[in-house]
Amino acid sequence: MQLELLLGAIEHSLSDETICAIRSLDGWGEAPLHRLVERGPQQHGASDIGFRLDARVGTVVLSVDAGDLATLWTRRALLLSWLRPTAADKILRFTLDDGTVRCFEGHSAGQMTLPLEARRALAWEVGVQFVCADPTCYDPEAQTLTFRLGGSAGTGFTVPTYVPTGMGASVIAGAQAVAYAGTWRTHPTIRITGPITDCVITNESTGETIDFTGVTIDAGERRDIDLRYGHKTVLDGAEVNCIAEVTPQSDLATFHIADDQEVEDGINTIRVTGTDADAATRIDMTWFVRYTGI
């Protein structure tokens, strides 16, 4: 197994023995959770009403080895530099023995005291705790679904291809079934590139919609919709807030692609409709497949 620490565009190996090697891992399996219960005034026991995932604390024990003391101290300092506190999340990328890749985002817990007694000759054993506010992990290969016009004008039917193609003169009206293989829901980002009027994006499997009825997005303009928790934004190309353009009935707070515990076989049918479109119009939905652990 390989383990890399990603700091922006920079990658550092924690497992190739150049600087350090993995000694043990713990806390990266099933996501921690707590059950939600309620109890009536005369009820025996309690009623289970669901659960919430909790933040994850995962541990990585590393061994820093060297051929001499000077190199050992240099490598120790380098590891401390990689793991120092930052405002942005760090990413731990696990590549499993079967080639599966999973990423966790979080921060080191700030307890790398590195006591001298942890040193054994020319090796230093280092225990690192990572706190992941989102306990789920994801495959870093993004998935994208695109809707756009195509074909000759006036044909007026939909071709069931991987990229759903509404083939009317100016109408996009297509649906695509997404087979979602993750074990946890994912919240996509969506880019609508104009021109288009009355654009509506629906996950027919969950009943959730993002509805721009009454709004025209002109040629050369776009709307970027970020549905991730803690974001929930609708911005134009100049990053001006356009959330008021979305109808109050829209599901900005909850719109997601569901796993197989919520929809049968993890099949999410995504439908997009809109008028006054042309060859430049496109709707791109992008997401990462998420898992409860490795």
266 — alpha (psi -120 to 50), left (phi > 0) or beta?
left
Q: Can you give the pLDDT at residue 131?
A: 95
- Domains annotated on the chain, with CATH: 2-137 (2.40.30.200), 143-291 (2.60.120.860)
Q: Which of 38-47, 51-60, 85-94, 158-167 has the lowest mean pLDDT?
A: 158-167
Q: Can you give the pLDDT at residue 166?
A: 46
User: pTM higher than 0.85 for the full model?
Assistant: yes
- Give per-residue pLDDT as tens, 4-45: 999 988 999 999 999 999 999 999 999 999 999 999 999 999
Q: Can you give the pLDDT at residue 150?
A: 56
Residue 164 has pLDDT above 50, yes or no: no
**What is the DSSP annotation of 133-185?**
SS--EE-SS-EEEEEEE-SSTT---EE-SSS-EE-SSS-EEEEEEEE---SB-
Give residue 112's pLDDT band: very low, low, confident or very high (50, 70, 90).
Answer: confident
Q: How far from each other are the two terminal CA atoms of the chain, in whole angstroms?
A: 12
Residue 252 has pLDDT above 50, yes or no: yes
CB proximity list for 59: less than 8 A, separation 6 or greater: 24, 25, 26, 27, 127, 128, 129, 130
Give residue 57's pLDDT band: very low, low, confident or very high (50, 70, 90).
Answer: very high
Residue 244 has pLDDT above 80, yes or no: yes
Average pLDDT, the chain: 90
CA angle 254, 293, 226 (to 5 degrees): 30
Q: Can you give the pLDDT at residue 152?
A: 25
Give residue 159's pLDDT band: very low, low, confident or very high (50, 70, 90).
Answer: very low
Which tokens go with 256? 């997601």
For range 53-63, the mean pLDDT = 95
For range 33-58, the mean pLDDT = 95
- Give per-residue pLDDT as tens, 126-143: 889 999 999 999 999 999
Give residue 251's pLDDT band: very low, low, confident or very high (50, 70, 90).
Answer: very high
Q: Can you give the pLDDT at residue 117?
A: 74
Q: Which residue has the higher pLDDT, 216 or 108?
A: 216
Give residue 168's pLDDT band: very low, low, confident or very high (50, 70, 90).
Answer: low
Q: Can you give the pLDDT at residue 149?
A: 84
Q: Can you give the pLDDT at residue 169?
A: 66
For range 211-221, the mean pLDDT = 96
Q: Can you give the pLDDT at residue 218?
A: 96
Strand partners, 107: 131
